[in-house]
Structure 1
Amino acid sequence: MSMSMYRTPCAAVSRIRKSPLAFLASEIRNLSTTTRRCINMEDYPTEKIRNFSVVAHIDHGKSTLSDRLLELTNTIKPGQNQQVLDKLEVERERGITVKANSSSMLYDYKGDKYLLNLIDTPGHVDFSYEVSRSLGACDGALLLVDATQGIQAQTLSVFELASQRNLKIIPVINKIDLPAAEPDAVIEQVLMQFDLDIDSALPISAKSGLNVEKVLHAIVDQIPPPPPSPTPPRQQPLKALLFDSYFDKFRGAVSLIKIESGSIQKGDVVVSHHSKSRYTVGEVGVLNPAEKPTTHLQHGQVGYLVCGMKESSEAHIGDTIYKQSQPVEPLPGFQPVKPMVFAGVFPVDNKDFLRLEENVKRLTLNDPSVTVNRESSNALGQGCRVGFLGQLHLDVFRQRLEDEHDSEVIITAPTVPYKVIQGGEERIVRVPSDFPEPHELSNKKASLFEPYVNAEVIVPDEYLGSVIELMSAHRGDQVAFNYLENSNPPRVHLKYHVPLAEIVTDFYAKLKSATSGYASFEYQQADYVASDLVKLNMLIHHRPVDALAMIVHRSKSMDVAKHWVSKLKDVIPKQQFEVAIQAAIGQKPIARETIKAMRMNVTEGLYGGHFDRKLKKLNQQKRGKAKLKTKAVGNIHLPQSAFYDLMKS
């Protein structure tokens, strides 16, 4: 293969296509590089490449620092961009990063040209998998810490992820220009906690740009280039790590890849190691931050790949891409993402189901971590059972349905995947309807297990008692307790082993309330633990409502039952007869509320007369209500509006 193959001119520049991860045309006009002109990758050999990520706790300034780096390398125009790599509307509105993104920057330093590949990562605990897989494409990381807050729970987590991959870590202390900043104390705390070189910390202000140029210098000087190739890339077999993807309605799934060895160009026939599917490469290039095609990508480089994948589900995160003519062993570390929170998603109006299903499918094109299956409910009609990474992931998905597709939905109470061993067979229960019946549990025919997580909380010591009380109320077992060094005011680092079901609903809000917002929280999936679980059924007028069934720990069943029957009483309209609301385990009710019947004054039109006339009317009313109640068995249904209010409260 001659070198001339890599120097052929690019195909005609096509019009910019819209996609959830591509800029809208109005945004692209603000970029300093507005055309998709080719970049000659031969100008950037392996030793001139730096692949790095920015990792931090949520709200410590990752997206802002990314903006400044893009501006200083003339990738975008200064002063006209905010959260350039946060392309989803929900990301900009909430000020969080949900989807890992990347951008290549061309940087001249000391007379040499460098290709800096920035891979931005989320900061919230729900999206830690995005952080992990993105770090797999990096050789170094900027560990960003807020000078006003110091080390937080997610800081510890992302540092551990980066350390496990032996990345070069550069500590960067952000927001030093704020009045409450204590940069010296935070620098000392970071260096001692993580055993880093005292001269390596960089105090900056990403918002104003103070000292950000020094960050670029440190990236070039301290982060190593990808390991050198023993032979020319074109002579090596292709090994490409697929670390992310997004969907384009004209071209299908666009894969983000890092070339671990070899090279790839238009026309190559490649194979997915996971699915064994074969594809023909239609285009390769880099994100700058908009797509820019290149003649090829080679060893050490990061870019995008278009090869005719029709759906994002074909782009398996962590997969190895290789050439059909040169089969290779897969790159280590491929682990499919597993949703850990499941909820039913139903339209407010049953007639809108097909539209809702189509909108859900469109969103999942850009989020392969979401699983979707049809679900039918007697109370809510047709809907979808959707799997998410966590509660925030669920909230973001709901908001995107509303913002991007104008879909108002009812989302049932979230559940986690429980493990059931029954008759020697193991299965995962994601919906209460699949839970074993009480007689099977009483006969010891089934064993139940629930998922646990390893949780970490960092909190000022004045709130220590509140946190310990909260964790105990959520069935948490304390594993470790220590004070952070050089922390003012003193802060405590707590580790707990806690059931996942206890933290997927309102736990984070309770923690913030108990600590006046000063606590930080982080967790990682742990293991399954044997547990005493029960299925709690909600009955309205003695008939179960399938959409309200839930799986709870037996010790919590009474409190949960009382809470839900009280909520139901508030939203169910009054009937002309008395309605019983019950919570039951099997056939045994454990909580009850009663909605009194509406009463019409049947004696209102009687003026004077004998008492017997009034009594006759009242007895007629009583017999009529009894007859109506008998006929109405099974006909009491929650209106959709009541369900909507119930799930929102």
Structure 2
Amino acid sequence: MFPPARIRNFCIIAHVDHGKTTLSDRLLQATKTIPERQMQDQLLDSMDLERERGITIKAHPVTMRYEAEDGESYQLNLIDTPGHVDFSYEVSRSLSACEGALLVIDAAQGVQAQTVANVHLATRQNLHLIPVINKIDLPTANPAAVKRQLEEVLAIPGEEAVLASAKEGIGIAEILEAVVRRIPPPQPFPDGIIRALVFDSVFDPYRGVVLYVRVRSGELARGQKILLMATQSVYEIKEVGVFNPKMAPQERLEAGATGYVIANMKSPLEVKIGDTLTSAHHPASEPLARFQEARPMVFSGIYPLNPADFEKLKTALSKLQINDPAIVFTQESSAALGSGLRCGFLGLLHMEIVQERLRREHEVEILATYPSVVYQVHLTNGKLLEVDNPLRMPDPSMIESIAEPTVRAFLLIPTERIGEILQLVLEKRGICESTESAGENRVMLRCRIPLSEILVDFNDRLKSLTRGYGSMDYEPAPYQTEDLIKLDILVNGEPVEAFSCIVARSRAESRGRAILSKLRELIPRHLFKIALQAAVGSKILAREDIGSVGKNVTAKCYGGDITRKRKLLEKQKEGKKRMKTFGRVDIPQEAFLQILKTEAGT
């Protein structure tokens, strides 16, 4: 076992695709934590989704043993963190279990928006940062320019940066030595009372809940009675250990260590991320600092394609929630789609990943509705109503005003593209609050944009306009009152709730026309004419018609008087009128799928 003076707890933070996971692979290789025959790329990315997309979704802890140049052995506890803005909550949890962080920056791309955001997160946690300029082997690498950006944008001295190439193994020894020399050791509480921070958890179907903990003081061992301070529940420890990177049982976890605890917890609902674990017999007087609760930013309805799979879907989401507490969901039902769940996510990528995990890991085929945000509706009677689903929007006569959530976006872009990006921000109903230089030929725009406008295609268009050199990060901003309305889609005079949405009044007509145009292609022709309408309240904004199926009722008439043919045609006309009155329009499931997929492009 290692004393606290020879333990280092650190994580790796960076913008997406700047080489975090590759660097963690090289560190595992250099410390011989993984035998060469077992080594593979993206070793800590255990999910197929992570390997396919080349992104980190979940934080992954691992314990390494390192023989330093001073002749001492050190225990290095590393946490590889996600880089996408949607998973910043995961990053903040990882930072709380560390004393330092490796800040990885691509030598060719330089400081990006998410780099700035991660530095702010680390600074708030009082972490010591070691900048690592990665990918110096690339032909387009410019380490000198990145050092200047470090000083100008992040106020970090350029000479502190370690030059490295994780792919080629350059600078790995220097990084390990910097971790040992520059990251402070953990400082346990002097009273020796057991305190451990629960920074993550997973659910094992055979062993129950596995807690990922950082021991702040005291020690944890098998057979101890422990207390979770948030729920005041008592459990008995069945096993403790560290990650190498798989779970490796140990006799005990001492102060300063990072590892796992398995107790007799059977339900995912028994643990809260950020809770303090302490002794049941001699508990701590106060819990350690709690994490800020994750606040969902995006809501979407998730329905099983087969209505019989609803309970299976509900169980699957409950299991995902244990190691991703940012997911929230409540039950809802739709006349068009049946029973489903209204789910809240941190962002669009987070939503996409959860949906894909439901399909792959739990084999549930699902349909997701168009993503929406939470609106604050001020009623004429003085009450405030929060609406995350257009179906819950009250009658327009009861509404005083509607406020929508906004974000403060930080756009780091090439200087020559500032005109196109400002046009994009205006198109999305945003305003640019300030601009500032961010090194050579780069500028940072600080903008305020409605959250609903950046959900789907904003980042893609930003990348397209800047030829891949632009990046974005955002944080929640206060609500602001806007002229918003509920847009209804009527099929043969009946509203179809699955297509309802909340839009700015100025865009209601164009959005309605786009949906109607798509529906006209997708709904098959019936024996009667079908009217498709986009409406706001009782006002019709747009209309499309689907013609009836023609039938030649006079085909059986061979010659004879013209009145015979007219009689048949009049009879057909009356039948179609009666069918239009009592007939039912069948909207195929494919129409719902296609509208939900393409509505983003309208």
Q: TM-score range by the shorter chain?
A: over 0.9
Q: Determine the structure 1 residue equivalent to 2:212.
A: 256
Asked whether the equivalents of residues 200 and 323 of structure 2 are also in contact (C-alpha less than 8 Å), the reply is no
Between stretches 612-621 and 392-401, larger displacement belongs to 612-621
Asked whether the equivalents of residues 85 and 474 of structure 2 are also in contact (C-alpha less than 8 Å), the reply is yes
Query: Is 1:645 matched up with 2:599?
Result: no
Query: Is 1:538 matched up with 2:489?
Result: yes
Asked whether the equivalents of residues 150 and 158 of structure 2 are also in contact (C-alpha less than 8 Å), the reply is no
Mark the CA change 1:620 to 1:515 in structure 2 (over 3 Å): closer, same or farther.
farther
1:638 is aligned with what amino acid? I
Q: Separation in 2 of the partners of 1:592 and 1:335? A: 48
Alpha-carbon shift at residue 172 of structure 1 (Å): 0.5
Mark the CA change 1:511 to 1:610 in structure 2 (over 3 Å): closer, same or farther.
farther
Alpha-carbon shift at residue 137 of structure 1 (Å): 0.9
Mark the CA change 1:427 to 1:438 in structure 2 (over 3 Å): closer, same or farther.
closer
1:241-300 CA distance string (max 9 Å, x none): 111111111122211111122222222222222222222222211111111122222221
Q: Determine the structure 2 residue equivalent to 1:60.
A: 18
Q: Determine the structure 2 residue equivalent to 1:50.
A: 8
Q: Which secondary structure state, in structure 2, belongs to the residue aligned with residue 267 of structure 1?
A: coil
CA RMSD of aligned residues (A): 1.8
Q: Determine the structure 2 residue equivalent to 1:106.
A: 65
Length-normalised TM-score, structure 2:
0.95
1:589-638 CA distance string (max 9 Å, x none): 22222212121233344444444333333222211111111111xx3242
Q: Determine the structure 1 residue equivalent to 2:520.
A: 569
Q: Determine the structure 2 residue equivalent to 1:580.
A: 531
Q: Separation in 1 of the partners of 2:148 and 2:467? A: 26
Mark the CA change 1:420 to 1:237 in structure 2 (over 3 Å): closer, same or farther.
farther
Q: Determine the structure 2 residue equivalent to 1:69.
A: 27
Q: Which secondary structure state, in structure 2, belongs to the residue aligned with residue 282 of structure 1?
A: strand
- 1:3-42 to 2 correspondences below 5 Å: none
Mark the CA change 1:158 to 1:592 in structure 2 (over 3 Å): closer, same or farther.
same
Q: Determine the structure 2 residue equivalent to 1:12.
A: none
Q: Determine the structure 1 residue equivalent to 2:166.
A: 206
Mark the CA change 1:385 to 1:519 in structure 2 (over 3 Å): closer, same or farther.
same
Query: Is 1:365 matched up with 2:322?
Result: yes
Q: Separation in 1 of the partners of 2:555 and 2:457? A: 49
Q: Separation in 1 of the partners of 2:503 and 2:364? A: 30
Asked whether the equivalents of residues 223 and 237 of structure 2 are also in contact (C-alpha less than 8 Å), the reply is yes
Alpha-carbon shift at residue 312 of structure 1 (Å): 3.1
Q: Determine the structure 2 residue equivalent to 1:476.
A: 430
Mark the CA change 1:278 to 1:143 in structure 2 (over 3 Å): closer, same or farther.
same
- 1:414-563 to 2 correspondences below 5 Å: 414-422=371-379, 423-441=381-399, 444=400, 447-485=401-439, 487=440, 490-563=441-514
Mark the CA change 1:520 to 1:71 in structure 2 (over 3 Å): closer, same or farther.
same
1:599 counterpart (550, 553, 559): 550
Q: Separation in 2 of the partners of 1:334 and 1:366? A: 15
Q: Which secondary structure state, in structure 2, belongs to the residue aligned with residue 505 of structure 1?
A: coil
Q: Determine the structure 1 residue equivalent to 2:98.
A: 138
1:196 counterpart (146, 156, 160): 156
Mark the CA change 1:380 to 1:473 in structure 2 (over 3 Å): closer, same or farther.
same
1:277 is aligned with what amino acid? S
Q: Separation in 2 of the partners of 1:459 and 1:607? A: 75
1:326 counterpart (283, 298, 321): 283
Asked whether the equivalents of residues 268 and 319 of structure 2 are also in contact (C-alpha less than 8 Å), the reply is no
Length-normalised TM-score, structure 1:
0.88
2:590 is aligned with what amino acid? S
Q: Separation in 2 of the partners of 1:397 and 1:637? A: 31
Q: Separation in 1 of the partners of 2:216 and 2:112? A: 33
1:613 counterpart (546, 556, 564): 564
Q: Separation in 2 of the partners of 1:279 and 1:533? A: 51
Q: Which secondary structure state, in structure 2, belongs to the residue aligned with residue 468 of structure 1?
A: helix
Alpha-carbon shift at residue 574 of structure 1 (Å): 1.4
1:221 counterpart (166, 181, 195): 181
Asked whether the equivalents of residues 137 and 258 of structure 1 are also in contact (C-alpha less than 8 Å), the reply is yes
Q: Which secondary structure state, in structure 2, belongs to the residue aligned with residue 162 of structure 1?
A: helix
1:392-431 CA distance string (max 9 Å, x none): 0111112222222333321101111222344444442222
Alpha-carbon shift at residue 333 of structure 1 (Å): 4.2
Mark the CA change 1:458 to 1:116 in structure 2 (over 3 Å): closer, same or farther.
same
Asked whether the equivalents of residues 515 and 595 of structure 2 are also in contact (C-alpha less than 8 Å), the reply is no
Between stretches 183-192 and 46-55, larger displacement belongs to 183-192
Alpha-carbon shift at residue 199 of structure 1 (Å): 2.3
Q: Separation in 2 of the partners of 1:44 and 1:576? A: 80
2:298 is aligned with what amino acid? V
Q: Separation in 2 of the partners of 1:637 and 1:281? A: 58
Q: Separation in 2 of the partners of 1:415 and 1:141? A: 35
Between stretches 455-464 and 123-132, larger displacement belongs to 455-464
Q: Determine the structure 1 residue equivalent to 2:45.
A: 86
Q: Which secondary structure state, in structure 2, belongs to the residue aligned with residue 309 of structure 1?
A: coil
2:271 is aligned with what amino acid? A
Q: Separation in 2 of the partners of 1:428 and 1:270? A: 39
Q: Separation in 1 of the partners of 2:235 and 2:537? A: 53
Q: Which secondary structure state, in structure 2, belongs to the residue aligned with residue 397 of structure 1?
A: helix
Q: Separation in 2 of the partners of 1:158 and 1:179? A: 27
Alpha-carbon shift at residue 229 of structure 1 (Å): 4.6
Q: Determine the structure 2 residue equivalent to 1:5.
A: none
Asked whether the equivalents of residues 195 and 284 of structure 2 are also in contact (C-alpha less than 8 Å), the reply is no
Q: Which secondary structure state, in structure 1, belongs to the residue aligned with residue 132 of structure 2?
A: strand
Q: Which secondary structure state, in structure 1, belongs to the residue aligned with residue 552 of structure 2?
A: coil
Q: Separation in 2 of the partners of 1:154 and 1:316? A: 27
1:490-531 CA distance string (max 9 Å, x none): 122111111111111222222223333321111111222223
Asked whether the equivalents of residues 227 and 283 of structure 2 are also in contact (C-alpha less than 8 Å), the reply is no
2:596 is aligned with what amino acid? M
2:351 is aligned with what amino acid? L
Q: Which secondary structure state, in structure 2, belongs to the residue aligned with residue 535 of structure 1?
A: strand
Mark the CA change 1:290 to 1:361 in structure 2 (over 3 Å): closer, same or farther.
same
1:320-370 CA distance string (max 9 Å, x none): 222223232122243221222111111223333333333333333332211
Asked whether the equivalents of residues 237 and 328 of structure 1 are also in contact (C-alpha less than 8 Å), the reply is no
Q: Separation in 2 of the partners of 1:398 and 1:549? A: 22
Q: Separation in 2 of the partners of 1:570 and 1:484? A: 48
Alpha-carbon shift at residue 309 of structure 1 (Å): 2.5
Q: Separation in 2 of the partners of 1:562 and 1:629? A: 23
Alpha-carbon shift at residue 104 of structure 1 (Å): 0.8
Alpha-carbon shift at residue 374 of structure 1 (Å): 1.8
Q: Separation in 2 of the partners of 1:570 and 1:319? A: 53
Mark the CA change 1:268 to 1:527 in structure 2 (over 3 Å): closer, same or farther.
farther
In structure 2, the gaps of 5 or more residues are none
Q: Which secondary structure state, in structure 2, belongs to the residue aligned with residue 529 of structure 1?
A: strand
Q: Separation in 2 of the partners of 1:333 and 1:228? A: 18
Q: Separation in 2 of the partners of 1:574 and 1:622? A: 16
1:31-72 CA distance string (max 9 Å, x none): xxxxxxxxxxxx311110111111100011111111111111
1:86 is aligned with what amino acid? D
Q: Separation in 1 of the partners of 2:409 and 2:264? A: 41
Q: Separation in 2 of the partners of 1:619 and 1:462? A: 68
Q: Separation in 2 of the partners of 1:609 and 1:462? A: 79
Q: Which secondary structure state, in structure 1, belongs to the residue aligned with residue 197 of structure 2?
A: strand
Q: Separation in 2 of the partners of 1:310 and 1:387? A: 25
Q: Determine the structure 1 residue equivalent to 2:125.
A: 165
| Paired-residue identity, % | 44
Corresponding pairs, count: 594
- 1:393-432 to 2 correspondences below 5 Å: 393-422=350-379, 423-432=381-390
Q: Separation in 1 of the partners of 2:296 and 2:337? A: 24
